[in-house]
Structure 1
Amino acid sequence: MPTVPAPTIETDYLIIGAGAVGMAFADTMLDEDPDAHITLVDRHAKPGGHWNDAYPFVALHQPASYYGLNSTPLGNNQIDTDGPNKGYYELATGTEVCAYYERVMNTRFLPSGRVAYLPMTDYLGNHRISGILSGEERAVKVRRKVVDATYYNTSVPATHTRRFTVAQGTQIAIPNDLPGLWMRSNEIPAHYAILGAGKTAMDVAVWLLRSGVPQDNITWVRPRETWMFNRANTQSGPAFFEQLMQAQLTLMNAVADAETADDLFLKLERDDFMLRIDPDVLPTKFHFPVISHGELELLRSVKNVVRMGRLTAIAPGELMFPTGTVAVPENTLFVDCTATAVAVRETRPQFEDGLITLQMMHVPLVALNAAVAAFIEANFDNDADKNTLGEVSAFVDSAHEYPIALLTTTMNRIRWSMSKPISDWLAKSRLDPAGPLIASLPKGDPRFALLGKVQDATRAALPNLHRLAALGALPAAPQDRSR
């Protein structure tokens, strides 16, 4: 008998990806357009995107208070009282984040009757989808737009492809494997080699040290040093208002005076806004990691650091680089932390006929970006106006490029402040660290004076920020972009 074609699905917005970006867009669209029907497709079995693949001890870099979805708080809005994050708002764990997205899907999205969720489903392009397990292909009639929430192709150690070779007999793991080492208690490694210099590698180093591994039993391969935000300056909530505004003032004053991007970072380091692990090595990398002084102190305790560029191969007892070989103990467990969380891609218009490609407007707040994009889509009429309100920035890779992202973010914030619909929405959005804080100030509050200083400093910094961004767009000195 001939196969009966699967029925066509109809929807207004077909969202590719049910992770942090796709869920944030859908959540805001549900509130802003009561007539919109949304279909989310994702390869994972549960909502949450890459969080489903992350290592068990992963946690947010930023406070949980402004991550996730605009409709639903994440966490308990509490201050940590011990550990490296002591004194700051809680950082939701990966397990908590996954449970959060699943809960919102089951208690808000699906009961609305306006959301269809298709897990374990691949988007084939041209409005066609395929069940990963069944292989069944279906057409989707999209009445409005496809929403690509996967443009940055988020990668984690469990899903990425290694760029170095592994000799037979080499002990290699990904961070996901580490908590299970207790099951091989008779074969605990004598030494650990952390491969990579990004936030995942930092998390692994902190986890090993806090699990009791002596610092001398860790070798850390860091192809590039990285700048990091001081988490003290990323807090939200009334108790941190002055600190948050003072941090913004510090940033803009440094921008106004900086000669180069390196000079900008050094000025910000002087003011405890930016941090680095090794004070004797100038970082060239910047992926917007956030860290506390408590974590930094732990990371600095690891003294066996290898800086020989990109790793090409590993073998029992050996790390191999283009310029030479470094010996490590024979019973070393190599921990692969070389996945790049976000692919560096060229930008494209965010709003096009039949297509929305979700990208960065306020770097690096991915959830806020997607929610703002949904608000703009629902409340403005044509794509040209929408793109003007939401200029996009590439997710930068190097310190040299940071002013480009900072300029885009600053200009978008100015545009949004001049749009009453957007500014009113931001004033109530839990995803915006500053908007609700500023809106909550009573008339005549003396803290408005500090806000005025920030606004004045921003205006004064803009000419030099444009100049620094232009320098950032020029080719930088060649560098190894490995982790």
Structure 2
Amino acid sequence: MDENPIETDYLVIGAGAMAMAFVDTLLKETNARIVMVDRHERAGGHWNDAYPFVRLHQPSAFYGVNSRELGSGTKDTTALNEGLYELASGAEVVSYFDQVMNQQFLPSGRVRFFPMCNYTGDRIDDHRFTSLVSGADHQVRVSKKVVDATHARTAVPSTHPPRYRVEPGVQCVPLNDLPKIRHPYASYVVVGSGKTGIDACLWLLQNGVAPATICWIMPNDPWLIDRANMQPGLDSFERTIGGLTAQFEAIAAADSIPDLFTRLEATGQLLRLDTSVEPTAYRCASVTQAELRELRRIDNIVRLGRVRVIEPTRIVLEQGSIATGPNALHIDCSASAIPTLPDMKVFDGGKINLWMVSSCQPVFSAALIAYVESHLVDQTQMNALCTMVPPPHVPTDWIRIWAVYLGNQLRWGEHDGLARWIKQSRLYFMTAVVRGLQETDTEKLAQLHRLYVSRQQAVASLPRLLGAIA
């Protein structure tokens, strides 16, 4: 037993993006003392393990913590994101969180950070952690709440072995190892259709690999978001607000689930790789039209389910097998970045479970949860304001997410303090879109009015669509 337990108000398990956004707001809104524990050497969570060429899939303006801008607020002038707002690289994100920790959190005197440590408590009453380096054990005495910031469990291929068997003699690497290639291969086999699979294919194509030599194993075709429809700033106002309006109008007008997705695709709100293949996945991944054109250069797409085993001469999948060879490089992109959540609430007695309460906006969600924790005491009301949105997996989750998110939005607007905070939050999507809007700009204000009307119509129509989901 530790004779000198660490005393704190809040114990935060994890120092990833959501944990950092939560602590940033908690520091501003309270005088609390905070202890953060993480297995990594630096703050940033899974970004420390990500592949070297990873970038955000959303503009930097929407990411990070409320108190500190990420990036320079400029648009990219080259490559596949040309004309759109910058996407921070993985290295930039890690450096950013490192600066937030060392230039803001620790100098406050109210945050203690224990990196390279594994939490071993029960998340209820017994709070302790062990150093992965020295083996020293520490007990923590928490006077207020423990914050579990590990539910996202973002899986990076470099930290998880493939879920399929790889036989001896097969060359199979995580996409982290792609920049280490020192000789060309006869073929490249990308396993996985999520964000990492997309990034692996784009990296190969951008580095001159012929599309004909790429085989893309795609267990589930995904619906994708057009990144041009989710840009900050008044220069993107018409398209961004118009896109949201189109989504709400599609919800209001659709007479069935297939009709809804037909409308969303027709208005450019959702994209798919092959218009002849019905998507079976949705994970909030975004692409540009230029990226989509690149991906469509790959003709050899295998849709035979998940990989079971990779043998020296063949790949066995759920619904068949394909040939491979000794001079093929198999690139594992199969780790799932989005978990299946157990039944839980954000506020659970002496525990706070960090998860998204806003559509595909994890850091804003964490910051909002911190504000609610700082200013409210009734947990029933707190959970009503912070109803968890379901993790996105299948296409109909697009509808489920909007149903919960719009309900949250309506309740946020009824709480004056929270509504004011949201309007000032740089992490909130709409704040970044309408920043600088003047009362004299009648056209943009009229477009906002149309958005609000369509949102009300969507709220009225969502129960009907939810009832149609089997």
TM-score, length-normalised on structure 2?
0.96
Post-superposition Cα deviations, 1:31-54, rounded to whole Å, max 9, x if no partner, equal: 111x10111100111110000000
Superposed counterparts of 1:245-324, under 5 Å: 245-324=241-320
Q: CA deviation at 1:317?
A: 3.1
SS at match of 1:178: helix
Superposed counterparts of 1:372-391, under 5 Å: 372-391=368-387
Q: CA deviation at 1:7?
A: 2.1
Which moves more between the two structures, 267-276 or 128-137?
Answer: 128-137
Post-superposition Cα deviations, 1:267-296, rounded to whole Å, max 9, x if no partner, equal: 111111111111110101001101100100
Q: Does 1:454 align with 2:462?
A: no
SS at match of 1:295: helix
SS at match of 2:81: coil
Say whether the 8 Å CA contact 1:123–1:130 is kept in structure 2: yes
Q: CA deviation at 1:316?
A: 2.0
Residue matched to 1:127: 127
SS at match of 1:246: helix
Unaligned runs of 5+ in 1: 475-483
Separation in 2, partners of 1:226, 1:355: 35
SS at match of 1:111: helix
Separation in 1, partners of 2:434, 2:343: 31
Which moves more between the two structures, 431-440 or 355-364?
Answer: 431-440
Separation in 2, partners of 1:335, 1:275: 25
Q: Does 1:359 align with 2:355?
A: yes
SS at match of 1:227: strand
Separation in 2, partners of 1:402, 1:339: 21
Post-superposition Cα deviations, 1:134-177, rounded to whole Å, max 9, x if no partner, equal: 22221101010000011121111112242211111100011110
SS at match of 1:253: helix
Residue matched to 1:150: 150
Residue matched to 1:480: none
Q: Does 1:464 align with 2:430?
A: no
Separation in 1, partners of 2:250, 2:160: 37
Pick from 107, 112, 115 the counterpart of residue 111 of structure 1.
107
Residue matched to 1:16: 13
Separation in 2, partners of 1:60, 1:288: 12
Q: Does 1:434 align with 2:430?
A: yes
Q: Does 1:41 align with 2:7?
A: no
Q: 1:471 to 1:218 in 2, by over 3 A?
A: same
SS at match of 1:334: strand
Residue matched to 1:234: 230
SS at match of 1:223: coil
Separation in 2, partners of 1:374, 1:49: 19
Which moves more between the two structures, 437-446 or 165-174?
Answer: 437-446
Residue matched to 2:60: 64
Q: Does 1:393 align with 2:389?
A: yes
Post-superposition Cα deviations, 1:282-332, rounded to whole Å, max 9, x if no partner, equal: 101001101100100000000011111121000223111233221134310
Q: CA deviation at 1:346?
A: 2.9
Separation in 2, partners of 1:172, 1:273: 36
Separation in 2, partners of 1:212, 1:36: 53
Pick from 17, 22, 25 the counterpart of residue 22 of structure 2.
25
Q: CA deviation at 1:422?
A: 1.3
AA of the residue aligned to 1:146: V
Unaligned runs of 5+ in 2: none
Which moves more between the two structures, 423-432 or 100-109?
Answer: 423-432
Separation in 2, partners of 1:397, 1:241: 29
SS at match of 1:105: helix
Separation in 1, partners of 2:457, 2:190: 43
Q: 1:384 to 1:181 in 2, by over 3 A?
A: same
SS at match of 1:45: coil
Q: CA deviation at 1:6?
A: 5.4
Separation in 1, partners of 2:48, 2:433: 32
Post-superposition Cα deviations, 1:200-237, rounded to whole Å, max 9, x if no partner, equal: 00000000000010001100000110000000111011
SS at match of 1:268: helix
Separation in 2, partners of 1:134, 1:227: 46
Percent same amino acid at aligned positions? 38
AA of the residue aligned to 1:236: P
Q: CA deviation at 1:415?
A: 1.4
Superposed counterparts of 1:94-109, under 5 Å: 94-109=90-105
Say whether the 8 Å CA contact 1:347–1:392 is kept in structure 2: no
Q: CA deviation at 1:400?
A: 2.1
SS at match of 2:262: helix
Superposed counterparts of 1:171-210, under 5 Å: 171-182=171-182, 185=183, 188-210=184-206
SS at match of 2:310: strand
Separation in 2, partners of 1:79, 1:237: 11
Q: CA deviation at 1:425?
A: 0.9
Residue matched to 1:140: 140
Separation in 2, partners of 1:135, 1:382: 40
